[in-house]
Amino acid sequence: MRFITRTLIVVLLLSILLTGCGKSDKKMSTTNANSNVKQVLHLSLPNDPPMLDPQRATDMTSFEILNAVFEGLVRIDKDGKVEKGSGLAKDWTISPDKLTYTFHLKDNIKWSDGNPITAQDFEYSWKRALDPKTASEYAYILYPIKNAEKYNSGKASADDVGIKALDSKTLQVTLEKPTPYFLGLTSFITYLPVEKSFVEKVGDKLASSPDNMVFSGPFKLKEWNHEQNLTLVKNENYWDKNNVKLSEIDLDIVKDLNTLAQNYDTGKYDTISVTGDYIDKYKGQVKYAPNGEVYFIALNNTSPIFKNANIRRAFSLAINRKELADNVLKDGSSPAYGIVPNGIPGEKDEYRKEVGDLFSEDTNKAKELLNEGMKELNITKLPKITLLASDSDSGKKLAQALQEFWKKNLGVDVEIQSMAFKVRLQRLKSKQYDMAIDDWIADYNDPMTFLDMWVTNGGNNDSGFSDPEYDKLINDAESTPDAKLRMDDMKKAEKIFIDAMSVAPIYFSSTAYVQKDYVKGYVRHPVGVSDEWKWVYIEK
């Protein structure tokens, strides 16, 4: 996710999505929350959430809010696992051929408006995501379901899709092929339910304000002042409300790192992410949480300049990634020489360890490639080149570091255009850019979440990359039941993608953070929605 993924696969990889490694205060019961202490968590967000409609959201900022105010059939637990009863489904059965899942909803589960949550709500929501009219960029995350892709592409009707409410408490789902991690997928944001009757009532106003939302999760959105702050409050109609100790979560939208640090020091914020020089400031207090995330420079393959592969390679090879990680980021991030990050499983070990680095930096080679590319384009001078970047403090520093590399190692002046997250996404989608700092965090714990997005005309393929051989390898990997063949196809596909340098990977991220000692139960997942607030409590 964009922080964003694409179609699913058919092999024995992991039986559960988002496995293992969730960072949490384990075994600390929420009953330890001191009843005399105000149970309010004070946080910040780097951006205003662009979209709080579960079927249309695509970014991590929105995902974190949606994960707090909605819940699906399952909820990933503190240890990153899927267990029966963890979400709105009390249990389920799976047919012997692994194609039919029958989910049984809990009794007496309610929306925040008091209406019952039904299997019909789930059927409506999932088909809504697939409806071409919804234009959900994440529709493909439901493609394991029978005829889902055909309906989304206009080749089948909604009735043909393998999603059916048998009664108000029973949802039957039929898959195209066995998908061992399907249960975990049902926790993904696009799979979250919306209340059918409410959506039909508010129409296009859905998720535009707290009044135009109804919630199924631990919290409700009480206040949303765009570009300023959001307030979440406990949802008293939530089925597991007794294990939710926070009464409120206050989230300010803050882009300036100095402001964040000052407010953390004065106690206004209970935890903040830190980077760069702030790592040194909080030396001895900083903790690190690994992310299944890659940062890269999107290179517009359809632009007059970056349609040339040698110029794309030149800009990539001119970046000193180790210097960037060690001297600019300073947050535990590591240089990226592939698109699939560290920690993602491969055939027998980590995928990245099995494949290794797919390129290396070379400033002399970068200059040669730039000259060669310019000759191929029959130009003697580059036009003005711009880099889209975040308007946050850390985003500006990253952009400035890249700008310096290109000036020093290529002799090219690049203009930085810092802008709000939502505007940058729109520019990426419409391909109105030369270069843009972008990122992708794993939607599920498999290399495919970083590879299938680059197929021709893929919903999140904002670089415009297209290669028939790549498309075939991805399709083959998604179709074969042979785990080794599948992994081999993905490795070949990644090499094609990197050789073309459709995007320039720059680093695999890690989150460095500081957190007050009185904050307990805060879970940080390494894959998927990172910050889980359901089990947080304040103990002073």
**How would you write 271-328 as a 3-class SS string?**
EEEECCHHHHHCCCCCEEEEEEEEEEEEECCCCCCCCCHHHHHHHHHCCCHHHHHHHH
CA distance 80 to 22: 5
Query: How far apart, in whole angstroms, are the C-alpha atoms of residue 256 and residue 258?
Result: 6
Residue 80: HSE in the Cβ half-sphere, 13 Å Cα cutoff: 22
Topology (CATH) of 30-252+516-538? Dipeptide-binding Protein; domain 1 (3.90.76)
Q: Give the whole-number percent of the chain exceeding pLDDT 90.
A: 76
Rounded to an integer, what distance in angstroms lies between the CA atom of residue 195 and that of residue 91?
Answer: 21
Residues in contact with 274: Cβ distance below 8 Å, sequence separation at least 6, in sequence order:
257, 261, 281, 282, 286, 331, 512, 513, 514
- From its phi and psi, is residue 414 left (phi > 0), alpha (psi between -120 and 50) or beta? beta
pLDDT surpassing 50 at residue 84 = yes
The residues with which 538 forms a beta bridge, in sequence order, are 519
Residues in the chain: 540
Residue 170 CA to residue 210 CA, distance in Å, equals 29
CB 354 within 8 A of CB 348: yes
**What does the pLDDT read at residue 79?**
84
> What DSSP line would sit under 183-246, residue for residue?
HHHTTSGGG----HHHHHHHGGGTTSSGGG----SSEEEEEEETTTEEEEEE-TT-TTGGG---
Rounded mean pLDDT of the chain?
91
Report the pLDDT value the prediction gives residue 364, as an integer from 0 to 100: 97
Consecutive H or E run containing 146: none
- Listed by start position, the domains of the chain span 30-252+516-538, 289-510
Query: Is the domain covering 289-510 a CATH 3.30.1780.10 domain?
Result: no
* C-alpha 530, offset from chain centre: 9
Q: What is the pLDDT of residue 6?
A: 32
Q: What is the value of pTM for the model shown?
A: 0.74
pLDDT for position 35? 64
| pLDDT tens sequence across 121-157 | 999 999 999 999 999 989 989 999 999 999 999 999 9
Residue that has been written with the tokens 């299938």 in this structure: 452
Q: 7-57: per-residue pLDDT in tens?
A: 332 222 333 333 333 333 333 333 445 568 899 999 999 999 999 999 999
Distance (Å, rounded) from C-alpha 233 to C-alpha 239? 15
Taking only Cα atoms into account, the Rg of the chain, rounded to an integer number of angstroms, comes to 23
CB 417 within 8 A of CB 387: yes
pLDDT score, position 22: 33
Average pLDDT score over residue span 453-460: 89
**What confidence tier does 1 reach under pLDDT thresholds 50, 70, 90?**
low
CA pair distance 58, 66, nearest whole angstrom: 11
Looking up tokens 């207090």 gives: 285
Pairing of the two strands 100-105 and 40-45: unpaired
Strand-pair category, 334-335 with 163-167: unpaired
- 70 close to 216: Cβ distance less than 8 angstroms: yes
Q: Worst-scoring range by mean pLDDT, 82-96, 187-201, 231-245, 523-537?
A: 523-537
Q: Is pLDDT larger for residue 523 or for residue 184?
A: 523
Strands 271-274 and 414-419: unpaired
Contact 437, 273 (CB under 8 A): no
User: Could you read off the pLDDT of 147-183 as tens digits, one per residue?
Assistant: 999 999 999 999 999 999 999 999 999 999 887 778 9
Residue whose C-alpha is closest to residue 187's, from 76, 261, 284, 50: 76
Residue 456 has which token pair? 């021709």
Counting Cα atoms < 13 Å in the Cβ hemisphere of 106 gives 20
Ranking 41-45, 371-375, 379-383, 392-396 by mean pLDDT, the lowest is 392-396
β-partners of residue 435 are: 299, 387
